[in-house]
Structure 1
Amino acid sequence: MLKRIPLVFSLFIAGALQAQAQEQDSLWTLQRSVEYAVRNNLDIKQSVLNERLAKLQLQQSQLAQLPSASASGNYGRNFGRSIDPTSNQFIRSGYNFMGLNGNVDVLLFGWFQKRHTIERNRSLMSAATADLDQLKDDVSLNVATAFLRVLLAREQIGIARSQLGFSVKQMEQTKAFVSVGRSPELDLAQMESQVATDSSNYYSAQATYFQSLLDMKALMNFEIADPFVPLAPNVDVVPVTEVIGMKPEQIYTVAKDHFGSIKSGQYKYAAAKKAVDVSRAGLLPQISLGGQFGTNYASSYTEPTGVTVTGSVKNGDFVNINNNIYWIEQPTLKTDLRTIPFGTQIWDNFRQTVALSANIPLFNGWSTRTQIAQNRIDMASKGLNLEQTKLKLKQDVYKAYYDAMVAVQKYYAATSAAEASDRAFHFAEKRYELGLMNALELLTTQNNGYKAKSDALSAKYDLIFKLKVIDYYLGKELKL
């Protein structure tokens, strides 16, 4: 029995450590949540694919500068009456054939179009990268917003629970007062109604928390069933001195230099400008050097290997010698043939061609010039989009700055109101216990205090969010 004690103790320690590890794994800070969302957000994954496609297009346009080469071959058998490829004569017997061909083409003049295409695709790739960076920043800000909403909803649950506890306590105290005739039955009914209202508020706060948690998980592409516990930092002291000392124009200047949407607009404008150059290069001639080679084999291509005399025949001629007639005979011959070997035919039939070609565009229905005009319009449109993006960024920065300034004032006012409501409720509670205040007046003071606490909490998280928006425009890491 004593030997089993260390084993049981070890299993207990291992289970405790595993439970602690699981609990630690379920705790999520804002920074960890942002990093997870950047890795798993579906929109970001789609944008990564777009960036990869842009890189492949750039790579392909660069490889298009290399000479083109191709090779082909065929093998088959011919039946029936056809042309002998070795003699160009009609034959009726079938034969086997094979051919090998190759082609090489090098562009000597006409690189302008390819060079401009490379520059355009490079700008488009940079635009895709900038779009990806902007999307990561946007998702980070959205995650920070959702994270703060979860924290706010969780603290609202605490306030609602505290409010419900106070109401239950007051209801029990009122029951005691009614039982001794110190308070009327109406006070007890009002307290019971307040307890029911506070219970409803408590459950509503829980529902709001669970809904905000689901929104957070969906944004992160987080498994819905997995535990997620947001780790609340110490935000009792909200730093507001930095943003108060800044000017909105300073924030805009910083944002304009690093914002992905601005960079993307600039790269897209540069790509549209290069597209004009690509279409204009279509008006220039192109000169290329080409080379071709080929060879073939046919089983009908034969050569004699020897002659055999098989006999003789009279050819119809004769000679007269001393009045004797002698008929002339000629030998009959049999020629032995063989198919010329494959390697010999391939080598003997090998042919090469080198040609210099020029392609001069003369008239194509003005399609090239129309394309140039269209690309110029697209370039102007991209320029307007860039200016519009800058203008919207400036408007958003100024709005975020003034919203932060208002949030600072609301935070200070709401904090002062919450502190004053706490004092007022403390005095009201004492007066109610002494019989100097009825239940309705106490409930009014209590509800005012609950609302003031809720408003102060909302103002605090609203200010934190507004400050995170300023950090977002300044390009700072979003963390608490």
Structure 2
Amino acid sequence: MKFLLNISLLLLTVSQAVFAQEKKAWTLDDCLTYATENNITIKASEFDKQSAEVTYTQSKYSRFPSLSASAQQNMNNGTSIDPITSNFVTQMVHSTSLGVTAQVTLYNGNYINNTIKQNELLIRQNEFFVSEAKNSIILSVTQAYLQALYYKEGITVAENAVASSQEQVNQANTKFKAGSLAGIEVANLQTQLSNDQYSVVTAKNNYRQQLITLKQLLELEPGAEFEVATPELPDSKIIIPDLQQVYQTAVAAMPEVKSAKLQTDIATYDLKKAKAGYLPTLSLYAGLNTGYTNTQSYNFSAQLDNNFYQTAGLSLSVPIFSKYQNKGAVEQAKITIEQSKLTAKSTSKQLYLKIESAWQNAVSVQSEMQAAEALQASSKMAYEMAQKKSELGSLSATDLLVSKNTYQTAQQQYLQTKFSSALYYQLLQFYQGNAIKI
């Protein structure tokens, strides 16, 4: 019995530990690490990179000769040419042909070398695509995480409002029973309590919905337990970096800018490959061949030895008229180069607009946060004074509710500016190449 009791206690301890682990609150760093390792978009971009590496390896092997073996069994009847002896015969001919052939391109306008160099650049570009996918999910997770924190703190604010309203209703009921407070005052306070309780429900629903959004970004299972940790956010006195400095750092580091610039180099190799179509192609080929035919009296092995012969030669192909194929390919490649240059300029411009928007918002929100912080402090003081007056019977319930609503609005404004400030500050840190940390 004692043994079974010990086992039961052990299982209970383990289950509690597992449950506690499942309910572990996720920090932003936890979310970012998990997302970059499990997000489907990032994995897809990594597969694209692996595909580019395979293509690059294939292009390098195109420098080597091709080697193939062949075997053919023929049967001819009537007057025909013996495929082995090349004699005219009038009989049923059974023949076997065996051969090995090798071919290598010696020159084709440097097409192979340019293809190899282009595919090497495509690997680098796909590495930038992987980094770009990671950056995108990092920004999305950061924004979703901060939004979840905002809703989470909103629950606390709403629950505090309910507690305050409940206390006021209790006091009002006591005064009403004593005949020192009108029924309408009690009804107004009761209405406010119901509104505050509804606000709690709304706040919790908003938080749960935001957790679903965050779980989707993390690729978590729908039924997985998930909760976010509550960190300390920076205050309103954070130092906002210089706009131009942020942009200069970002334009030299962001993978989307590097990828767009690299696309011009990739398109340049398309032009070189297209121009190769105007140039001749020189190839070397060689072969080993033998065969057997029933028209000869030798046995099979002897015929394979007697009919053995070797071939070797050069093949030159000179383009004369390609029905506008080569010229069209060259013109298309030139257009692609110009388009890639425009794309690179547009990418840098879009990056500047994102950074400028984040910088302007950071500056504006910082001022708003300072004002909201002062408003929250003053409205809190006013509300506390109103509560004392209400307790003494020198303030109506209506005036108390006005003061309370003013304080709640100030709290919401402060929360909004606090989390917005944290978001824009982290964006600026991200564009400077710094890790996002909250």
TM-score grouping bracket, smaller chain normalisation: over 0.9
**Offset of 1:466 from its aligned partner?**
0.9
Of residues 235, 240, 245, the one that matches 1:238 is 235
For residues 316-359 of structure 1, what are the alpha-carbon distances to aligned partners after superposition, in whole Å with 9 as ceiling and x for unaligned?
xxxxxxxxxxxxxxxxxxxxxxxx22221111111111111211
Alignment partner, residue 174 of structure 1: 172
Of residues 96, 99, 103, the one that matches 1:98 is 96
Query: Bigger radius of gyration, 1 or 2?
Result: 1
**Offset of 1:96 from its aligned partner?**
4.1
Question: In 2, distance between residues paired with 1:373 and 1:131?
Answer: 28
Contact 2:109/2:280 (8 A) holds in 1: no
Alignment partner, residue 21 of structure 2: 24
Question: In 1, distance between residues paired with 2:124 and 2:365?
Answer: 37
Alignment partner, residue 371 of structure 2: 413
Of residues 352, 356, 365, the one that matches 1:398 is 356
Q: Which has the higher strand share?
A: 1
**Offset of 1:90 from its aligned partner?**
3.0
Superposition CA RMSD, Å = 1.9
Mean alpha-carbon deviation: is it higher for 108-117 or for 431-440?
108-117
**Offset of 1:116 from its aligned partner?**
1.2
Aligned residue type for 1:113: Y
Of residues 350, 355, 358, the one that matches 2:313 is 355
Q: Secondary structure, in 3 states, of the residue corresponding to 2:110?
A: helix
- 1:422 has 2:380 as partner: yes
Alignment partner, residue 432 of structure 2: 474
Structure 2 unaligned runs (5+)? Answer: none
Q: Which has the higher helix share?
A: 2
Question: In 2, distance between residues paired with 1:83 and 1:369?
Answer: 45
Contact 1:84/1:91 (8 A) holds in 2: no
Alignment partner, residue 412 of structure 2: 454
Alignment partner, residue 142 of structure 1: 140
Alignment partner, residue 15 of structure 1: 12
The count of residues paired between Structure 1 and Structure 2 equals 436
Question: In 2, distance between residues paired with 1:80 and 1:195?
Answer: 109
**Offset of 1:84 from its aligned partner?**
4.1
Mean alpha-carbon deviation: is it higher for 71-80 or for 470-479?
71-80
Matches within 5 A, 1:201-240: 201-235=199-233, 237-238=234-235, 240=237
Q: Secondary structure, in 3 states, of the residue corresponding to 1:241?
A: coil
Of residues 69, 73, 76, the one that matches 1:75 is 73
Contact 2:281/2:317 (8 A) holds in 1: yes
Alignment partner, residue 339 of structure 2: 381
Question: In 2, distance between residues paired with 1:279 and 1:221?
Answer: 44
Q: Scaled by the length of structure 1, what TM-score is found? A: 0.86
Question: In 1, distance between residues paired with 2:218 and 2:345?
Answer: 32
For residues 213-236 of structure 1, what are the alpha-carbon distances to aligned partners after superposition, in whole Å with 9 as ceiling and x for unaligned?
11111111111101011112222x
Question: In 1, distance between residues paired with 2:172 and 2:236?
Answer: 44
Question: In 2, distance between residues paired with 1:90 and 1:80?
Answer: 8
Question: In 1, distance between residues paired with 2:98 and 2:86?
Answer: 19
Contact 1:404/1:463 (8 A) holds in 2: yes
Structure 1 unaligned runs (5+)? Answer: 303-339
Q: Scaled by the length of structure 2, what TM-score is found? A: 0.94
Q: Secondary structure, in 3 states, of the residue corresponding to 1:238?
A: coil
For residues 83-127 of structure 1, what are the alpha-carbon distances to aligned partners after superposition, in whole Å with 9 as ceiling and x for unaligned?
54447343444x543211222112222251111111222222211
Alignment partner, residue 249 of structure 2: 254
Mean alpha-carbon deviation: is it higher for 69-78 or for 170-179?
69-78
Q: Secondary structure, in 3 states, of the residue corresponding to 1:186?
A: helix
Question: In 2, distance between residues paired with 1:39 and 1:76?
Answer: 59
Question: In 2, distance between residues paired with 1:449 and 1:439?
Answer: 15
Instruction: Provide closer, same or farther for how the CA distance between residues 239 and 102 of structure 1 changes in structure 2, counting only shifts above 3 A.
Output: farther
Question: In 2, distance between residues paired with 1:476 and 1:98?
Answer: 72
Identity of aligned residues (%): 26
Q: Secondary structure, in 3 states, of the residue corresponding to 1:215?
A: helix
